[in-house]
């Protein structure tokens, strides 16, 4: 069972090497889908051994382009599973084995629990709440390393080309396709947004955006609100 990791990037040169090297060690293939970096990100990715595709910025479009380019794994066999990994996130040990086991047991996809790379009480509490929310709703988000069977992803026509909430939308549609799982291991993701903007403000902004989306507000309108609140 071949796994391709798709990693969206935009000017990640300063921090890309460690997470990309870890991703390359975990998967059969890594595709870096760049959104127009001007800092040498694509060159770093190629040097480390990733395949690079380029196009307009926008996480949904970048992720789908990356997935579409992964027709074959690096060993020449078809890719069975797509795993979408942010450039500031590290997979847990044995992540690939856990994903393969979940898919072999009948899951159509899933994600991991999350923890932050900064050890503060509020961030530990935030991670616990995220994991509880995910277990309760069955809707993991992009910073939890979403994965999906390739055939299911193609049937869903990939991510919507939205400026925001493309990860939530995919999780909602994937849940209707079959059983999804929240794996026991934790990805470690950067807490920089929470630290820079404030933990309470970041959480409140996220919940406001999700609530408005549930009420039918377009992601193209919500992205303007999101950047005004940041």
Q: To which residue do tokens 């040097």 refer?
A: 47
Mean pLDDT of 126-140: 93
Give, for 201, the enclosing helix (H) or strand (E): helix 199-214
pLDDT at 200: 80
Would you say 142 and 86 are in contact if contact means Cβ atoms under 8 Å apart?
yes
Q: What is the pLDDT of residues 39-84, one digit of tens each?
A: 999 999 999 999 999 999 999 999 999 999 885 444 556 679 999 9
Q: In what order do the strands lie in the sheet with 109-116?
A: 51-54, 29-34, 3-9, 81-84, 147-149, 109-116, 180-189, 89-90
Count of residues making up the chain: 230
Mean pLDDT of 196-209: 85
Give, for 111, the enclosing helix (H) or strand (E): strand 109-116
Q: What is the pLDDT of residues 143-176, one digit of tens each?
A: 999 999 999 999 999 999 998 999 999 999 999 9
pLDDT at 12: 96
Sorting pLDDT into bands at 50, 70 and 90, what band is 185? very high
What is the percent of the chain where pLDDT is above 90? Answer: 82
pTM, entire model? 0.93
Q: What are the angstrom distances between the C-alpha of 20 and each of 26, 48, 148, 213?
A: 10, 8, 20, 32
Single out the residue of 206, 207, 138, 144 nearest to residue 174, CA to CA: 138
pLDDT at 203: 82
């Amino acid at each position: 069972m071949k796994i391709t990791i798709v990693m969206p990037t935009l000017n990640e040169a300063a921090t890309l090497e460690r997470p990309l090297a870890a991703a390359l060690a975990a998967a059969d293939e890594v595709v870096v889908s760049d959104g127009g970096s001007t800092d040498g990100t694509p060159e770093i990715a190629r040097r480390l051994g990733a395949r690079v595709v380029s196009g307009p910025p926008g996480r949904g479009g970048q992720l789908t382009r990356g997935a579409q380019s992964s027709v074959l794994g690096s060993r020449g066999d078809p890719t069975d599973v797509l795993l979408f990994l942010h450039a500031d996130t590290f997979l847990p040990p044995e992540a690939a084995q856990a994903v393969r086991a979940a898919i072999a047991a009948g899951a159509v996809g899933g994600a991991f629990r999350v923890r932050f790379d900064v050890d503060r009480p509020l961030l530990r509490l935030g991670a616990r709440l995220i994991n509880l929310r995910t277990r309760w709703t069955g809707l993991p988000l992009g910073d939890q390393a979403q994965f999906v069977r390739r055939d299911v992803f193609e049937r869903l026509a990939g991510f919507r080309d939205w400026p925001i909430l493309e990860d939530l939308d995919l999780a909602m549609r994937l849940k209707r396709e079959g059983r999804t799982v929240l794996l026991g291991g934790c990805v470690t993701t950067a807490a920089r947004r929470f630290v820079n903007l404030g933990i309470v403000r970041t959480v409140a902004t996220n919940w406001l955006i999700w609530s408005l989306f549930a009420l039918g507000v377009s992601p193209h309108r919500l992205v303007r609100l999101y950047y005004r609140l940041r």
